[in-house]
Amino acid sequence: MVLRHMVAVLLLYLLVLPARAGELLAAEPLGDGVFALIGETGARSYENHGLNANFGVIDTPEGAILIDSGASLEGARLLADRAQALTGKPVKWVINTGSQDHRWLGNAWFRSRGVEVIALARTVATQRTHGLAQLDGLRGVLKERLSGTEPAYASRVIEADAAKLVLGGRAVEIRYFADAHFPGDAVVWLPGKRIAFAGDHVYVDRLLGVLPQSDATSWLAAFRELEALGPAAIVPGHGRVTDLAGARRDTGDYLAFLTEGVERFAEDMAGVEEAVAALGDAPRFARLANYAELHRGNVSRAYLRVEMGR
Ligand SMILES: [Zn+2]
């Protein structure tokens, strides 16, 4: 009985793994020509081209809209191929939701082909600050697959914090709420379908990372504004497509746990060691991938950020 079970599991792996290996990003149709491209929740690797994140494709009669451009020229080409395969049309517009490498370092590939790359000025400002360091960070991972990749910025920079665009006849909004994973992170909102491409505002299945440039407190405020939109579906920056309840469970509740916790300790001037000792165990969130690697560092960076701001 046990043996038969083991054989069945082995067969399943043999059948499923090769099919998945060829498909770097799983396409999830959301109806009406809208697709999420779901990347691995693990780390950047040579094999995944640094595309360990989610992207979006929206079909229009005039061409495809791609949400986020990948981490390299090579990654950009892969995303363009996927968009073409899903819609039968080349990418005509790219929108950057953020400034972490895989959100925008593929811009140059699209710009050199005359694609309009759109981003908020706030997002571009952060890209300008971090671009060269991000390229350095990718070099050891992507090796020759990074060659030719250079920072390139949006051809259409939006100074406001919100924009209502019509691209190929489709209403597409870009919204900035507050600085989140990176300063200037934005959400792409499809008002008709109530779909939010949340970029790095939302992580599901895996724990979010509070980086030195992240602000957990304003990130939570941004998350509350995303909630207020009342999305029917959320394409997170990382993890499977979800709804509001799923986004709350894996991101909103975690940010609330972090910020409430560290504010309490900072108020008492407890010090970072004491905050990490007290908050470093969060069994509610231990089911999320990367919890062991990231949680204690998240507490410490969130604490230091709050202490700095006091
Ligand atoms: Zn990310």
Query: What CATH number does the domain containing 32 carry?
Result: 3.60.15.10
CA 12 to chain centre: 30
Does residue 178 form part of some domain?
yes
CA of 53 to the centre of ligand 1 (A): 6
End-to-end CA distance of the chain: 62
What does the longest C-alpha to C-alpha distance in the chain come to? 65
Residue 58 in tokens: 């929206």
User: Who contacts 294 (Cβ-Cβ below 8 Å, separation ≥6)?
Assistant: 207, 208, 209, 210
Structural domains of the chain, count: 1
Q: What is the pLDDT of residue 310?
A: 73
Q: What is the pLDDT of residue 23?
A: 76
Q: Quick one: three-class SS letters along 244-301? A: HHHHHHHHHHHHHHHHHHHHHHHHCCCCHHHHHHHHCCCHHHCCCECHHHHHHHHHHH
Does residue 264 form part of some domain?
no
Instruction: Using 50 as the pLDDT threshold, list the residues of the chain that sit under it.
Output: 15-22
- For 109, the domain range is 21-243
CA of 200 to the centre of ligand 1 (A): 5
Does residue 148 form part of some domain?
yes
Does residue 288 form part of some domain?
no
Does residue 1 form part of some domain?
no
Q: What is the pLDDT of residue 19?
A: 36
φ/ψ of 235, rounded to 5, equals -95, 110
Q: What is the pLDDT of residue 95?
A: 99
Q: What is the pLDDT of residues 105-115, one digit of tens each?
A: 999 999 999 99
CA of 73 to the centre of ligand 1 (A): 18
CA of 167 to the centre of ligand 1 (A): 25
Does residue 197 form part of some domain?
yes
User: Who contacts 115 (Cβ-Cβ below 8 Å, separation ≥6)?
Assistant: 91, 92, 93, 94
Name residue 280's amino acid: G
CA 154 to chain centre: 18
